[in-house]
Structure 1
Amino acid sequence: MNIEFRKLSEISKPAIMALMNHPLVRRQMPLLKDHFDENACETFVASKMKLWNDHGYGPWAFVVNNEFAGWGGLQPEDGEADLALVFHPSYWGLGKKLYQKIIGRAFTEMGLESVTVLFPPSRTRVKGLLRLGFTEESEVYIGQHRFIRYRLKSPV
């Protein structure tokens, strides 16, 4: 299996729109309100690319065997490096493998002290996250939406 980390701007709009409009993906993303159309896609990709320009890091597109599988990585969120992983359901089994690569970069190459994850309260299956060493920290609101913040501290 060939896994590549690419820029989101290298992925076709229809592929991104298909992912972001998939009902199983949308169920886990309460900030996605309306249909994710071409304008939303352009705004989304531009905002993610701006993170790279402004902060030196941001999310990647994950390409598996030349197919767009999802996006994710570290993103600045209120002064924290927040981990996001969004996969098409066909690729949900890849999360741990890509997580390990991203966390490895976070704590070695980037020298971060910790990484956060924001889960909506509807995501009740958090045992895997806790097994990875994350601890529940606090509630956070983005707009009108409540999230639970989990934190993983650097082992070094």
Structure 2
Amino acid sequence: MEIEFKQLSEIDKPDIITLMNHPLVRRQMPLLKDHFDENACDTFIASKMKLWNDHGYGPWAFVVNNEFAGWGGLQPEGGEADLALVLHPDYWGIGKTLYQKIIDRAFIEMGLDSVTVLFPPTRTRVSGLLRLGFKEDDDLYIGDQRFIRYRLRNPM
């Protein structure tokens, strides 16, 4: 299996739109309220590219065997490096592989002290996250949506 990390701007917009409108993906993303159309896609890509320009890091597009599988990685959130993985359900099985590549970049290449993950309270299946070493850290609001923040500290 060949996995590539690319810029979101390198991905065909219809592929991103299809992912972001998939009902199983939307169920996990409470901030995604409206239909994700081409205008929303343009805004989304621009905002993610701005993170790279402003902070030197941001989310990637994941390409598996030359197919767009999803997006994620590290992005700044309230002074923290927040880890996100948004995968098409056809690729949910590679999440742990992608996670490990992201964590290696965070702790080894970037030397971060910790990374966070934000889950809406509706995501009650967190045992996998806890097994990875994340600990519940705090509650916070983004817009009108409550999230539970989990933190993983750099073991090095």
User: TM-score, normalization: structure 1?
Assistant: 0.99
- Structure-2 residue corresponding to 1:73: 73
Within 5 A, what are the aligned runs for 1:4-23?
4-23=4-23
Could you list the runs of 4 or more consecutive aligned residues of structure 1 that deviate by over 3 angstroms after TM superposition?
Answer: none
- Structure-1 residue corresponding to 2:84: 84
Measure the CA separation in 1 of the matches of 2:125 and 2:110.
29
**SS across alignment from 1:108:** helix
> Does structure 1 residue 54 correspond to structure 2 residue 79?
no
Within 5 A, what are the aligned runs for 1:6-155?
6-155=6-155
**Alignment length, in residue pairs?**
156
Percent of aligned pairs with the same residue? 81
Shift of 1:127: 0.3
Measure the CA separation in 2 of the matches of 1:124 and 1:37.
29
Measure the CA separation in 2 of the matches of 1:31 and 1:43.
14
- Structure-2 residue corresponding to 1:3: 3
Measure the CA separation in 1 of the matches of 2:38 and 2:58.
21
Shift of 1:128: 0.4
- 5+ residue gaps, structure 2, are none
Shift of 1:77: 0.1
User: TM-score, normalization: structure 2?
Assistant: 0.99
